[in-house]
Structure 1
Amino acid sequence: MVDEDALLRQFAAQFAHGPEDGDDTDEVAAAQSAIDDDENGETPADFDVDDFLKGLDDIFNRHAASTEAGPYLEQAAVDAENAGDAAGLLTVLNETMGFYRSQGRHKENQWIVQRALELAARMGLTTGTSEAWATTLINCATAMRAAKQYDQAKDLYHQAQDVCQRAFSPTDRRLAALHNNLSMLYSETDRLDKAETELREALRIIEASSVNPDADIDVASSHTNLALTLLAERKLEGAHWHAAKALEIYKTGHLEHSAHFASALAGFAQVCFAEKRYADAVDGYRRALKVIEECYGRNTDYWHITEENLHEAERQAEAHGERIQPAGNTADEAMEAGTDSATIGMADDTGLSAVDRTSETSTHIPIDGEAGTNPLTETVDESAPATAGDVTDSQVCPVSGLKLTRAFWTQVVRPMIEAKHPQYAGRIAAGLVGHGSECYGFDDAYSQDHDFGPRCCLWLADEDYAAIGDRLQADYAALPRDFTVDGQGHVTFAATETGGEPVTEATRRFSPVTPRAQGTNRRDGVFRIGDFFTAITGYPAAPAPTAAHEWLMLDEATLAAATNGEVFQDPTGMFSKTRQGFKDMPDDVRLALISKRLGMIAQAGQYNLPRSLKRGDAAAAWLSIREFVNATASLVFLINVPMVVGYMPYYKWQFAALRKMSGSMFALLPGVCGQLETVMRLSSAACYGGAGFGEGGKGSAPAIEQINGIVEEIAQAIVKELLREHLTTSNETFLEWQRPYVEDHIASDDPILKSL
């Protein structure tokens, strides 16, 4: 894998001095001009990015990162902000994300990620193709992935792909870094075939850009990563070759003293373990730990996970009667002799990692016949229960709709396209997006009684649809859809023709398609890209950033349906670019909606709800609670930025999505979800309690008091968040009075974005 942190550091210095082609000069200057106008009118001190980066390099070169890097980065952020240097601050934030990730400080990293995205938006980078935006997206996505926030990571990586295709040359190593990180995401979400594809592309880019691939540390890291993915796929011969190749490159280039050598050592150790060479694995893990301790210290995820791997290898060596050499002997001798006998390794995600893919959730990969669980193999999706009321076991598909769709695409649809339309195989986007519970990932056994089954969407450019659209649709409709699911959740499609008999009694068929999902409203099959989005939103592509009135006519549930689901492939990038356009809500529109939600929370929850309850108008109070809950839930999504977390879906899945987002360690206002559910639980007693009806027979008074208290607690939390984001300078908790402060940050003069 490419040493991404070093590359990003090089880029950060270039960016801080101003881009060579001048594309970003105006937007950076404008952002800095706004920041420079500080309240006291004092001339800020200069922030020297070169000095900052040299100082950080010195800390890492002295192997003092574990104690010195954190305070150094924190002070640098303060210095850059005080100097009004927006570009410098963005550089510091990108460096901080990488360091916090290496230290396992994922909770703290959430603020760095959020701050970097907000700063990039303020600098005007998010609407262009600047390298700064691409770099920031990659770093933010990688931070999310390291924290196992996979949905957010996937969205950010896809945004980065769109920008990188336009911002970087085909041999730019940052493209390799992006492919490598995508492979990590796919590995950790049980999509090993895609992980392998991404890694091979990363290796191709790095070798093409290298002066000497046989002594290039980035080439070595890519071999290590590919070895571990092949190992997870049980391709031991290929895994061994690539892991050994990585060690050979370190030896040829005399790179054994690099911090990344730990990755190569532990990676080969993982291969040795799978080959039941436990003593060699022990020695490799020991050597990796020495490098990790020297470079990063013991108090890191990398140390602890590698130590766990070492202990497991020691147990297996003892159980199999293998003699363990004293620390330092075996691998040292093997390195002198070559790489075939005992060289060892570990995955490197962005240059600072020292932990293998497979060990983040388990101590090793069990090999055939060995007890244990491989976290990279597919398992039954526990979100789909085995039974559901009157739904019998034989009727329930035990895997999620998206997982079923991926299998259908991989085993049935893609082979058909490659066989019957080979000249278009590299031009068709595929996935599942739009209406339906499975598109949101919330389907369960109850969702399978209608519009459920093997299906996917195929999206074509207008000219391609004109050429093959009808034929491709006919071929798609004729595909066999019978499948089996084994005890481990693996989906296998039966090789039968349409209408044929099932291969086994376990073969499943789902075809209860309702009228609303047929004809012009169909949810799968072949579509023109523009027609697909028009059917959902009324627009073939997202409105222009300046078309505020059009954005405001698109409700959040509509935007959620246009941007949910998964895209399995998009060779031309056209579909993803169009989809991303709908996700990238202009910040002025987001701020205007936040203001509207603040107004409704104040009106319905803080003003009309208590008055309606005092009047005894239960119906009005109940409706006030509904408006308050909807506005508050929407505000939470808007505060968390739809570009990062998606939009609030329609009412059925509103709280499922809110719970999922609130459970993320990166969530802002995470406690509001539970508070809203408590309000709804108490609403019956508060509105219609009366004497002897409320909870415990105490009437409505206790419920009313609790609801009013929760409303004010939520208002206080919202104000605290607005203050943190510098969207207000007021502590006023009646949220109507916060609206002018928020609207002051709307750059556009369009009156539709401002309240009266």
Structure 2
Amino acid sequence: MTTNEFIQKLDGLFAAQEYGKVESFMLSALEEAKEKEDYGLYLSVGNEMIGYYRSISRFQKAYQISEDMLLLMEELQMDQSAEFATVLLNTATAYSFDENFEMALRFYRRAEQIYHLLVSPDDYLFAGLYNNMSSLMEKMDRNEEALDLLMKALAILKNYPDRQMEAATNFTNLGLLYLKTGDCNSGKKCVMQAIGMFEALDTPASHYSAALSALGEICYHEKDYEQAVIWYERTLEEIKKHYGFNLAYAVVCENLANVCREMERQGQAQEWLKRASEVRKRLEGENSGELHDIDNTAAVVNKEEKTVKTGGTKQKALERCREYYERYGKPILKQFPGLQGHFAAGLVGEGSECFGYDDSISADHDYFPRFYIWLDDEAYEKYGEELRAAYQKLPRHFEEFADTVMTPEAVSRCGVWKTTDFYHRLLGRQTPPETMYDWVSLQETRLATVTNGEVFEDCGGGFMAQREVYLSYFPEDVRRKKLAARLRKMAQMGQYQYARCMMRGEYVAAQMALAEFIQNTGSACFLLAGQYMPYFKWMHRKMKELSALSEVAGKLEKLALLPSQQDKWDEEKPERYRFALNTADEKVALIEEIAGRIAVELRRQGLAEGKDSYLEPYAAEVESRIEDPVLRMANLV
């Protein structure tokens, strides 16, 4: 099969709306390209697969394909080519859809650097890049940068009249940005122009659904709810036709629920939410079954006040605490009209339920209906005592919460708090970090604790302002400093000390070295994925959800479960050990495999170069690329 034949066949499947055959066809084409070592076909198929998996919200599949492609292209010395940049761009867009914004931006920046080396600034390649980057900037609330990028893309596209689909996509994004910044009229004009351009195309365009959804959102903001329902329902038809039940499908269902609430159609709102929940659970792997019930759910959405049935899955505590707040917390706060602009409420902090990991074991202690009310200093002084008294009168039993042992720490996990005191208790500081050295001193696990959970209501008071600072993640220099330290520990404890301890027969020391290797590997994976590592109990579980390096979680589990390798060292001689790895020890082999995977990711992110798997040189190189000279040399981590 040639590349042209592949494209024609794929286009034919989409044109015939035979979407169920798309994945198997692409997988078959990919295998054929590998067997024949047809790199051109391999790259074409791979790029299509990244986009396809992104569109149906199977992000890990997209990242796996991307990793294979980038590694091959590095081996072929194509890492400064337009083809390499295309893979980077497609991968970045997947990260953006997966809401891993920092990773998306890194990949976009690398693609941009390569484009600047290869083509002029008005080349069509930049239009696609700028359009995608603008969507990312908008999601990151960097609206001025998003607008600037869209205008650059439109200026380029004026020179390419045959690129109407791309121009229509650009107008859709521009309309949404105008809407977000409060210019509803300009937003509507752009979106209507986009819809007209999409409908004038000879072949169906998958991005048409985004324009329809944008128009639904505009109608919602104009309070034209009947029209909003019409456009959102048309959006669902388009999404299902092109992608099936993906994340975008769930989001539009949730938007429809909001519209129905405004129309006081509570039954329909609940049905749309149920439908969205079923899609999300399927995508998150919480249900092993297929989405066979979704169309049946859709059939009852239009029946007023349909009774909502409760599924068999036990509701998580965070969801029940939100309902507890809605029922008991909000009425309390309404008694204090002066609080407006001075408080936030939610459940954030310690406890498995804040991470969504609570189970039957969690219920044995400090597992009760709860929420926080965070106040600024002024409101706390004025209303704090009365609010605390009102909170303490709330019922201690609610829905499925059973009796639980209450430890002395339970009192600090709920109630009325000063925003500054809450952050000080968990982070040791009342205000956000101002310098890189402030950031370096903060523990990743504590940062994970103050960014987990959910804020149920934000009415000012400074809580969300601080939370957003922490959610923005470490400054890049700080990330690199911490990452370099973890890489050194991985090299020292896993790749060096474990084997030396085994050689000496120091088995307790070997296990301690292995434990440190596991801990630092976990931290390195989170740093490379741009996420905070949670408390050790949840590190491995959370690793499985990472957008990058999630597969390392399985390797660490295997490493932890391997039996003692003592017998693999009985015949090992010291002089041989100095020059070769004892891979008869399965733990040694697995440590090297994990280190090799980390090295691949370091190269992929442009953090270091190298060919082998020993991580000490990588640590030095990552540290050498820190821009701040004082932080680069400091021994702080």
Q: TM-score, normalised by structure 2?
A: 0.58
Q: Which residue of 2 aligns with 1:730?
A: 610
Matched, 1:618 2:507: yes
Task: Give yes or no for contact 2:89–2:107 (8 Å, CA) kept in 1.
Answer: no
Task: Give yes or no for contact 1:402–1:438 (8 Å, CA) kept in 2.
Answer: yes
Offset of 1:214 from its aligned partner?
12
Query: Structure 2 regions of 5+ residues with no counterpart?
Result: 1-69, 71-78, 114-129, 152-175, 196-210, 246-278, 284-290, 571-580
SS of the residue 1:607 aligns to: helix
Deviation readout 1:618-648 (Å, 9 max, x if unpaired): 1111111111111111110011112xxxx11
* Whole-angstrom distance in 2 between the partners of 1:560 and 1:551: 14
Q: Which residue of 1 aligns with 2:470?
A: 582
One of 216, 239, 246 as aligned partner of 1:224: 216
The percentage of counterpart residues that share the same residue type is 27
* Whole-angstrom distance in 2 between the partners of 1:357 and 1:447: 24
Bigger drift between 584-593 and 205-214 goes to 205-214
Q: Which residue of 2 aligns with 1:531?
A: 421
Q: Which residue of 1 aligns with 2:135?
A: 139
One of 513, 519, 523 as aligned partner of 2:406: 513
Deviation readout 1:41-94 (Å, 9 max, x if unpaired): xxxxxxxxxxxxxxxxxxxxxxxxxxxxxxxxx9xxxxxx9799xxxx99x999
SS of the residue 1:459 aligns to: strand
Matched positions, count: 447
Check 1:442–1:120 CA distance in 2 against 1; reply closer, same or farther (3 A cut).
farther
Task: Give yes or no for contact 1:570–1:576 (8 Å, CA) kept in 2.
Answer: yes
Compare the two structures and name the one with the higher helix fraction. Answer: 2
* Whole-angstrom distance in 1 between the partners of 2:330 and 2:324: 9
Q: Which residue of 1 aligns with 2:535?
A: 650
After TM superposition, the structure 1 = structure 2 runs for residues 652-671 of structure 1, keeping only pairs within 5 Å, are 652-661=537-546, 666-667=547-548, 669-671=549-551
After TM superposition, the structure 1 = structure 2 runs for residues 185-584 of structure 1, keeping only pairs within 5 Å, are 205=182, 207=184, 221=213, 224=216, 240=226, 242-244=228-230, 266=234, 302-303=241-242, 305=244, 362-363=294-295, 365-368=297-300, 380=311, 382=313, 398-418=314-334, 420-484=335-399, 509-510=402-403, 512-518=405-411, 522-546=412-436, 548=437, 550-572=438-460, 574-583=462-471, 584=473
Offset of 1:660 from its aligned partner?
2.8
Offset of 1:242 from its aligned partner?
3.6
Bigger drift between 428-437 and 357-366 goes to 357-366
Task: Give yes or no for contact 1:450–1:514 (8 Å, CA) kept in 2.
Answer: yes
Task: Give yes or no for contact 1:621–1:687 (8 Å, CA) kept in 2.
Answer: no
Q: Which residue of 2 aligns with 1:686?
A: 565
* Whole-angstrom distance in 1 between the partners of 2:308 and 2:109: 34
Check 1:357–1:608 CA distance in 2 against 1; reply closer, same or farther (3 A cut).
closer
What is the Cα-based RMSD across aligned positions, in Å?
A: 5.2
Task: Give yes or no for contact 2:365–2:407 (8 Å, CA) kept in 1.
Answer: yes
Offset of 1:204 from its aligned partner?
11
* Whole-angstrom distance in 2 between the partners of 1:223 and 1:597: 48
Deviation readout 1:77-135 (Å, 9 max, x if unpaired): xxxx9799xxxx99x99986898799x9x8999975651378899xxxxxxxxxxxx99
SS of the residue 1:540 aligns to: coil
Deviation readout 1:671-730 (Å, 9 max, x if unpaired): 211111111111x42259999xxxxxxxxx999621111111112112222122222222
Check 1:721–1:221 CA distance in 2 against 1; reply closer, same or farther (3 A cut).
closer
* Whole-angstrom distance in 2 between the partners of 1:449 and 1:204: 48
Offset of 1:533 from its aligned partner?
0.4
Deviation readout 1:169-191 (Å, 9 max, x if unpaired): 9xxx99xxxxxxxxxxxxxxxxx
* Whole-angstrom distance in 2 between the partners of 1:738 and 1:202: 45
Amino acid at match of 1:411: R
* Whole-angstrom distance in 1 between the partners of 2:623 and 2:308: 49
Query: Structure 1 regions of 5+ residues with no counterpart?
Result: 1-73, 75-80, 122-133, 143-156, 175-198, 230-236, 247-262, 271-284, 289-299, 307-355, 383-397, 486-507, 692-700
Q: TM-score, normalised by structure 1?
A: 0.50
* Whole-angstrom distance in 2 between the partners of 1:381 and 1:582: 36
SS of the residue 1:739 aligns to: helix
Task: Give yes or no for contact 1:619–1:687 (8 Å, CA) kept in 2.
Answer: no
One of 535, 546, 553 as aligned partner of 1:673: 553
SS of the residue 1:649 aligns to: coil
Check 1:651–1:357 CA distance in 2 against 1; reply closer, same or farther (3 A cut).
closer
Check 1:754–1:739 CA distance in 2 against 1; reply closer, same or farther (3 A cut).
farther
Offset of 1:607 from its aligned partner?
0.9
